[in-house]
Amino acid sequence: MSDQPDIETVRAELKAAGIDLEKTHRPVLMAMIKMHNEIARLKEIVGKLPALYARSDRPLVVCLCGSTRFGETFFRKSWELSRQGHIVLNIDFCPPDEVDSDGGHGAERLGQDIADQLDELHKRKIDLADWIMILNVGGYVGDSTSSEVEYALALGKRIEWLEPDNIPDRYSTQAAAEAAREGVVR
């Protein structure tokens, strides 16, 4: 590799940093050179990622967020977005025999640790997404969904609302809610 530093360059850099090479063993020095080269190789790879990620032929990835009580809306919106050419990341629905009698989320019935694990997993889906869509049916945004909105905003993700005229007032940042109502994309 032409960008690989020779031992003298590394010695000069270490000497400039006040490191006494007479006390440094050659294997340590060689390990440092190898580490320097690995870092340079990783920087090169990372530098190529934005171009690969932004390829025009790559479908956009959307993550749907909302309450599991709106399963039908999730199915329909997922189908619609997939037909438009998006990759859709969805919530996980529990088997029907694990749904609460009131139709609520079954994960809580299995324990708060399971519910928390699924909430965390959904945030990893948000990490992967180019943008998110909030399925705020009737203006409903529960605590988990609100947490996902805040997380996506912190990441600078574009957010769209199923019902942009029905964003709840309790939404944590009024400015963000107003921006969403006006169609401002972050």
Could you tell me the two tokens for 160? Answer: 């769209």
Q: What DSSP state is assigned to residue 170? A: T
For residue 155, which amino acid is it?
L
DSSP assignment of 31-88, as one string?
HHHHHHHHHHHHHHHHHHHHHHHT-TTSPPEEEEEE-GGGHHHHHHHHHHHHHTT-EE
Identify the band that residue 106 occupies on the pLDDT scale cut at 50, 70 and 90. Answer: low
Predicted pLDDT at 185: 43
C-alpha 84/C-alpha 62 separation (Å) is: 11
What's the pTM value of the predicted model, to 2 decimals? 0.61
Give the residue numbers spanning the domain of 47: 7-53
Note whether residue 186 is domain-resident. no
If asked whether residues 27 and 68 sit together in one domain, one would say no
- More confidently predicted of 24 and 71: 71
Residue 1 belongs to some domain of the structure: no
In a domain, 131, yes or no: yes
List pLDDT tens digits, range 119-153.
899 999 999 999 999 999 999 998 889 999 989 98
pLDDT digits (tens, 9 = 90+) for 2-18: 566 777 787 778 778 77
- 112-128 vs 143-155: helix axis angle to the nearest 10? 30
> In terms of domains, do 86 and 136 share one?
yes
Q: Mean pLDDT over all residues of the chain?
A: 78
